[in-house]
């Protein structure tokens, strides 16, 4: 028998009050037009791949087909904007190899920022979006009850290539909880249909949230 169950045992007015009081984020201004390159989803294992200080004790090693599916999901969620050209992972793969080769030839330490900016210059692109999976746990159970809920940690980092800086970053970290465990997530709970998500569905939720907050 599943250890987690969804029981709606709270007064409706309390749930509605929590929903109405939930904080709303304000998206930053939209980016200017130009070329936006999107790297393939990665699972950073080397220092030069990281763009934040987050480190996993047990970094995931996902199958290529899962990573390809995440790339497709991200591409499907990116908005078309007037004056913006979006280049997918095919445009960045070779540049990632070239950037690493160049850094090894030149010698010296290679930071994640330096590496990814070099990738952006190689494309070339005005902005480079780097999506990374840092933690991943599959759901154990079904959509109406679980032994272990899905969990994911992902980061989206947007680089301003021309100004050589990180323009925006979104960190998404969630282990799904039932409404009875976390009333503050009532809005999210009902939007998800009151069911337990798979890890891929949780990632899609995180990407949707991140792209909205980053105005992408």
pLDDT, residue 29, reads 53
Alpha-carbon gap, residue 69 to 66, rounded angstroms = 5
Q: What's the pLDDT score for residue 10?
A: 41
Q: C-alpha distances in angstroms, 139 versus 156, 189, 201?
A: 23, 17, 10
Note the pLDDT of residue 8. 36
Give me the residues of the chain with pLDDT under 70, please: 1-32, 106-108, 178-186, 188-190, 193
Whole-prediction pTM value? Answer: 0.80
Q: Are strands 84-87 and 34-38 parallel, antiparallel or unpaired?
A: parallel
Sign, Cα dihedral of 196, 198, 204, 209: positive
Q: How does strand 151-160 pair with strand 165-175?
A: antiparallel
Q: What is the pLDDT of residue 214?
A: 93
Q: Please state which CATH number belongs to domain 11-16+34-213.
A: 3.40.50
CA–CA separation, 200 vs 151, rounded Å?
A: 10
């Amino acid at each position: 028998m599943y250890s987690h169950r969804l029981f709606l045992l709270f007064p409706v007015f309390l749930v509605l009050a929590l929903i109405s009081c939930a904080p709303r984020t304000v998206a930053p201004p939209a980016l200017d037009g130009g070329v936006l390159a999107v790297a393939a989803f990665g699972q950073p294992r080397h220092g030069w791949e990281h763009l934040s200080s987050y480190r996993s004790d047990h970094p995931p090693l996902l199958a290529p087909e899962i990573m390809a599916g995440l790339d497709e999901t991200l591409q499907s969620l990116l908005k078309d904007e007037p004056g913006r050209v979006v280049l997918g992972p095919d445009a960045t793969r070779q540049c990632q190899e070239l950037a690493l080769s160049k850094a090894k030839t030149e010698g010296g330490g290679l930071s994640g920022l330096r590496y990814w900016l070099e990738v952006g210059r190689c494309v070339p692109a005005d902005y480079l979006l780097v999506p990374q999976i840092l933690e991943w746990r599959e759901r154990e159970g079904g959509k109406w009850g679980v032994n272990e809920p899905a969990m994911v940690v992902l980061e989206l980092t947007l680089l301003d290539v021309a100004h050589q800086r990180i323009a925006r970053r979104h960190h998404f970290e969630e282990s799904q909880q039932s409404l009875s465990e976390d009333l503050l997530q009532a809005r999210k709970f009902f939007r998800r249909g009151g069911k337990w998500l798979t890890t891929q569905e949780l990632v899609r939720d995180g990407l949707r949230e991140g792209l909205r907050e980053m105005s992408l």
